[in-house]
Each structure stands twice: as structure tokens, then as C-alpha cells.
Amino acid sequence: MSIQTTTAPDALRLDLPTSFVWGAATAAYQIEGAADAGGRTPSIWDTYSHTPGKVQNGDTGDVADDHYHRFREDVATMKELGLQTYRFSIAWPRITSQVTADSLGPVNEEGIDFYSRLIDELLAAGIAPAATLYHWDLPQALEDAGGWPARATAERFAEYAGVVAARLGDRLGTFITLNEPWCSAYLGYGSGVHAPGRTNHADVLAAVHHLNLAHGLATTAIRAERPDATVGLTLNLAWVNPATDAPADVAAAQRIDGLQNRVFLDPVLTGSYPQDIVEATASVSDWSFVKDGDLELIRQPLDVLGVNYYSPTVVRAYDGVGEREEADGHGASTASPWPACADIEFPQLPGPYTEMGWSIDARGLTELLVRMHREHPGLQLMVTENGAAFPDRVETDGSIQDLDRIEYLRDHVQAVSDAVAAGAPVRGYYVWSLLDNFEWGYGYSKRFGIVHVDYETQERTKKASAHWYADLITAQQA
């Protein structure tokens, strides 16, 4: 088959440190399948995806990419691409499948063994493993006991993190505690477009705090087992801009920045919650879930902050006239994910767009990385997810000429380099995603992978973007 590309990788104006690493990222529920194999018990995404009407086309992650059985083939593909690191998530329901609100329960040896074999395969291929401990697949038993709005969930998570560190930390040097806790709290408990599908703004804020607490407690537990481990946190930070310079729009942008970014950054990095957000949400919650000593538990030294970026965010004040715009890319729902934001709307941004309907603007990645460097000097940064869904087409010769994805990746890789040139200490970049996969509420209708997956046959085919990315990695190592 013939492969086309746009802009040869060596034509990019990249100025990155020699230690910069290139990788790809995935998540357990999106690729593993084998939902009831190896002692695994249901997660909230099993329950949610099997609930009629929740996921497009009734899709579930029961089989997904069958990575559980095909991981060796997938690692071989990573090696062919020249990946230096691979970020995957560990499915909590595989590790402590009998967890309850009161007890972590016994360790499931079959679950530990699967990830042990995956890590060994990666190391044998010369690929550094980086594990995310929570990528949204909460054990259903814990949701039944209250979920993330309940404090016990954070406590059990810390114990689970300690188990993973003790059992796999001899070969696994990098732990990311949580992936995008904003999504877990706001989409899971606010808008209901993610599992567990609840719509209660008081629960959103309680979940925010207990996710933050889970990060702090887990960081302590990991370091107790593995003092030399690299421990990070991944946030989907938003590049928030007001629609105009009008004071009401500027204030709206400040509130959304607080709810998306600062409610996670501030407690982890400075040991406090943003007072403007506590005050703005007083009608929703009194924040009594924050107990004495919690902020000290949350504020643990962070080795690296993972930044996930896909699309910009623009907001404006809503005057109550006409239909309120919710073009914020978080899925269709009659409920808003945002507590105390009925007076804010998200206007449709100009194109171009990805197939998710997300506006494309690579400047946001530069701006976020530089902001983190400016506000938290010395904090090491990593782009832990960046990529795009497009309507890929398999050509008659079997190739997938996803030139729009190459253009997207090219511009965002350049944006990372621009941030480095401005002083931001960015360690590396993970493309999202290695494989086409289960895209949450969109099921299998959206493809983010640089490797195409035929869901009927499970055949993998490198897209043009995969060849481009492999060439980029090679050029950067020259």
C-alpha cells in the first residue's frame, strides 16, 4: 500500500531536549475487553454501557480491541513505531475485584499477572511503561456504596494504589494517580453523560474533593512502597477565554477556569481551594466534605503534571434570552456539568473541527504549558494525551490516509516545542491514542487511533499518521 504524508517530520521547527520522550496512550476499559475474564468484576462503565440509551448504538467495552488477549501483538506494533514509552491504565476491578466501602478485599492474582506480563513485554521491547491507576473504571461495588462523592472511595483507592506499587513497582517506575478527574466528577455526577450517569451538582463538588483526596492519599501510599517512583497526576486543563472583553464575559471565564482548572491545581500544588469558586458554589454546597487536615493530605510533592489537551474553550455570560448554548464538547445532555453556572454559556467556535465537533486550535496547548511554568516554576510537565477523531476511510489498497490527523498532530507537536522554547519544562508527548477504541458515550463511532482496528476481525492497520509519527520519532533521535 502507498502512504501519503503532509509535512515531513524533519521539516518541523522543533527544539526539544534530547531527553524528550515520545509515546502513545490508552485506557483499560477502552481497549482491553475480556470484561469477565481473569477474575475481573464489573466497573461503573460496564453497568453504564449496558444500560439502554446510554451509549451510542448500544456499544459496550465487553470486547473492545481485545487487548487483554492481544497485548503482545500491540506491543510489537509499538516497537515498530519506535515508541519510547507507553501510558496505559490499570483496571481497578481486575486488581481488587471484591472491594467494598469498608475493605479492599483480597488481591486478584490473575489481574496482577496480566499487568505484570504486559510490563515485562514492554520492557523487553525497550519501551518504558507508565501506568495510570484510575481511568474512570470505578468498581461498581464502590459506586453502589456512594461512589466518588463518598470519602471511603478515596480511602480504598489509596490502598489499591499501594497494592499496585508493592506488586508491580519493581519494574514500573511511573505512576499517574488519576486521569482527568474533571470528567469523573462533572460528566459522571453532573451531566450524566459518563458513568455512573448521575446528575447532582452537590455530588459533583464532593466528588472533586474526594478525587483530590484520593490523589494525595495514593501518592503517599505509592511512595511508602516505592520511594524512588515518579508520581504524577493528569488533568484535562482548559484554555479558557472570554468571548469578549466585557466584564461579565471575563468573570464567566474566570469561574469556568476555576471549576475546570483551579479546583484541581490549587489543592494539589498550593494546599487550598480557590476562594472565588467556594463562594460561587455556596448555593450548591457548603463544602463541609473538606475535613481538617485534608488539604495537607492532598498537597503532596508532585513529580510531574500530565496535561491533556484537545480543543479550546470560550465562554460568555448568558443573559437569559434565547436558548442557552452548550457547545462545550462534553456530550448531549439535558443537565449541565457545571455547578452554579446557569448564567454562563459556551458559544460555538469557528472551525475547523474534529469529528467530535471540537474546534481545533493548537495555540491552547502552548498557552497551558507556559501558564503552568509561569504559575508553578520548576513543575515538570508531560503532554499525556493529545489527538483527534476524524472519519477515517479504508482505501481500496487497505491504507488509511488520515492526513487531517497528521496535520492536527503536526501543529500540536509544534505547539509543545513552542512552549519548551518559552521555558516550559516539558518531558515528553503521548499521542491519543495508539488504537481506535471504545470512545465512551460515543461507542465505536469515533476513531482516535493512529492504528486502525477492524472491530469484526480485530485486525490492526497502521494509518498514515502512525507512519508519520514513527518518522517523527526517528527524526528526533537522529
Query: Looking at the annotation, which residues are catalytic?
Result: 180, 385
User: How far from 63 is each of 36, 37, 70, 210, CA to CA, in Å?
Assistant: 10, 11, 11, 31
Exposed (0-12), middle (13-18) or buried (19+): which is 301, by Cβ within 10 Å? exposed
List beta partners, residue 394: 400
Which cell is 210 given?
Answer: 474526594
Amino acid type, 297: L
Cβ count near 187 (within 10 Å): 23
CB-based contact 390:465 (threshold 8 Å): no
Q: How far apart are CA 17 and CA 427, in angstroms?
A: 8
Q: How far apart are CA 245 and CA 249, in angstroms?
A: 7
Q: Is the bond preceding residue 352 a cis peptide, omega within 30 degrees?
A: yes
Amino acid type, 17: P
Residue that the C-alpha cell 464489573 belongs to = 42
User: How far from 77 is each of 69, 86, 174, 466, CA to CA, in Å?
Assistant: 15, 12, 22, 10
Q: How far apart are CA 12 and CA 228, in angstroms?
A: 36
Which cell is 456 given?
Answer: 469484526
Pick from 235, 87, 104: nearest CA to 158: 104
Which cell is 2 given?
Answer: 502507498
Q: How far apart are CA 201 and CA 431, in angstroms?
A: 32
